[in-house]
Amino acid sequence: MVNIDPTLMIGIPLFMGFLIPSVAIVWKNSPRYLAGFTILFNLIASTLLLIRSLNAPVISVLGGWQPPYGIVFVAGPLGSMLALLISSMTMLTWFYLPPHIKEGNETKFYMLFILLMAGATGMVLTGDLFNLFVFTEITSIASFSLLAYSRGKDEKEAVEATIKYMIIGSLSSAFFLIGIALLYGATGTLNMADLASKIPSANHNLVMMALAMIITGLGIEAEMFPLNGWTPDAYTGATHPVSVMFASVVVKAGFFALIRVVFLIFGAATEALQILMIFGLLTLFVGESSALRQTDLKRMLAYSSIGQMGLLLVAFSLNNQTALVGGLYAMLNHAIAKGLLFMAAGSFIFALGTRDISALNGMGKRMPVTSALFTIGAFSIMGLPFFGGFISKIVIIAGSMQAGTEGMLVAILILSASLIELVYFLRVVHRIWMREPEDDSRLKEAPFTQMFPMIVLAAFVFLMGIYPQAFFKVLIPAAQELLRGLGTMIGGA
């Protein structure tokens, strides 16, 4: 089997990012294809990587400098699974892009688009804390610029959202960096595995201070309450494919970075897990409750994303294998289903010209295919049987039950939040299919290139609901990787 070095999954997109503007001078239509090929490369590379990493973690050393001094890439089942998720979501979004990009600006857009992918892939693969910071920055800067990139009348809104996101985002990087500096001061190393082994003997106060800083910094990226003020505006202001990227790629990478730091470096520090649990529950409730009264479709989906991220935080901070598998399943399901929902919502809004939920009356008759796809995504998020969300919900509940009485309380809270979610999604789905439209003219469905990614995602939502064993094959080793920590992975290197 061909082995592709994980470094290339960062290197090639970065290189292409610089190549795209130069080629665009001579060949105007090239950016789209060059970006497509880059993403395809990453997709293939991450698939191969996932297959390899299921046997043993793939470690790649940069420039011959051995760790802990050099930078390493470490791809366990979890990291490679996320890399695959990132590249495939990027690929599908690439299909979805064309009508949503302002004409004449393709070059910059595609450049930033693959930089975003490169940054996110780096975030999940790197084995070095400072490197993680660098990739987080790449991802953030690419997201800021993509967010500002909006067409038509939403432009003003997008710029406003960008400024908010940038202000909060710079706080995020500042705190994250301070945290890294404190850790470096306390242990003298930045390699994650090395850190994990040195932290127990380091100055406790310093380490805890660093942990507080890092949780704050990465919590912003992971949409943790109360750090997620940027989220609703960003999702709403962004052009639709960028909202998809936020929900399925950027936030997932940020969340994974947070989990990695807490689980792998700090060895699942109980104090941190308690904080994550409490704020996870808060995030869940605040997100779902805020979504309940929304009249703006994208904003509703944004708040629902916040709620789901809260669910993920809760599932991970339960810290047992069942809950972790459930959490990872929910993460996959959310990336896929919410991506689908944002795409379908984007098609609705593109056709209707408004984000108002009440405009969706009778869309089942006006845009049947898109409506069906939206419904599939919504059913999965609601956790109905035969959709991915159902499996993640029952596995998380089973996991929380293993945590004794508190676990039971957690289960009840999760299910109550899930009930709120059911209510607002059901209202929208009900509107789409059951209400009579004011104007029942047939609207033009999205072209096949845009329909294709949605159909693929819908198929995956189904597959996750009816044949979850296929996913558990990857998720169970991934969960075990998290529980085991870094010690056994890199042999203390």
Partner 1 sequence: MDYTAFIRPEYVLMLLFAGALITYFAGKYSSMARYSLSLLFSGLALLMVALLYGKNTLSVWTPSITPNGISMYVGTNPLTWFFAIILASLSFLTIMYSIPIMKGKRMENWFYTLTLLLMGSMLGVVFSSDLLSFFIFWEMMTLSSYLLVTLAGKRSDKAALNYMILSTMGAYSMLTGITMLYVHFGTTEFSLLSAQIPGTPVNFLWLSLGLVAVGFLVKSAALPFYVWAAPAYSEAPDGFTPLFSGALSKLGAYGLFLFMYVIVGMSALIGMGSFRGVSSFGYAIALLGSITAFIATLYAIREDDIKRLLAYSSVSQVGYILMGLGIGTSLSVAGSLYHALNHALFKTVLFMGAGAIIQLTGTRKMSEMGGLATRMPITFLTMLISIFSLAAIPMTSGFGSKWLIYEAAINKGFVFIAPLAFVASVGSFLYSFRLLQAVFLGQLPDGLKDAKDPSLLVTIPMIALTSITVLFAIVPGVPLGAIASAESYMGIQPIQVDSLFYFRIGNSFGAYNALVVMTILLFAMLVAMIMFAFAGSKSKKVDQHDTYLSGEIYEHHSDLGLHYAANFYRPIERMFEPYLRLRLERTYDAFGRGYELLSEGIRRVYSGDVQTYVYYVIGFLGMLIILAGWWW
Residues lying near partner 1 in the complex (CB under 8 A): 163-164, 167-168, 171, 175, 205, 208-209, 211-213, 215-216, 219-220, 226-227, 229-230, 232-233, 271, 275, 285-286, 289-290, 292-294, 322, 325, 384-386, 390-391, 394-395, 397-398, 401-402, 408, 411-412, 415-416, 418-420, 422-423, 426-427, 430, 434-436, 466-469, 472, 475-476
131/418 with CB nearer partner 1: 418
> What is the nearest approach in angstroms of partner 1 to the Cβ of residue 426?
6
**Contacts with 204 (C-beta within 8 Å, 6 or more apart), sequence order:** none
145/361 with CB nearer partner 1: 361
Encoding tokens for residue 62? 């940069």
56/408 with CB nearer partner 1: 408
Residue 156, class by beta-carbon neighbours within 10 Å (0-12 exposed, 13-18 middle, 19+ buried)? exposed
Let me know: does 88 contact 40? Beta carbons within 8 Å.
Answer: no
> What is the nearest approach in angstroms of partner 1 to the Cβ of residue 272?
9
> What is the nearest approach in angstroms of partner 1 to the Cβ of residue 441?
19
The helix (run of H) or strand (run of E) holding residue 189 is none
> What is the nearest approach in angstroms of partner 1 to the Cβ of residue 209?
6
> What is the nearest approach in angstroms of partner 1 to the Cβ of residue 375?
11
- The C-alpha atoms of residue 85 and residue 57 are separated, in whole angstroms, by 18
**Contacts with 409 (C-beta within 8 Å, 6 or more apart), sequence order:** none
408/483 with CB nearer partner 1: 408
> What is the nearest approach in angstroms of partner 1 to the Cβ of residue 227?
5
In the three-class reduction of DSSP (H, G, I as helix; E, B as strand; rest coil), residue 225 is classed as coil
Maximal C-alpha separation, the chain:
70
- The C-alpha atoms of residue 76 and residue 476 are separated, in whole angstroms, by 12
86/213 with CB nearer partner 1: 213
21/477 with CB nearer partner 1: 477
> What is the nearest approach in angstroms of partner 1 to the Cβ of residue 187?
17
Encoding tokens for residue 287? 């997100």
142/286 with CB nearer partner 1: 286
Please count the residues of the chain.
Answer: 493
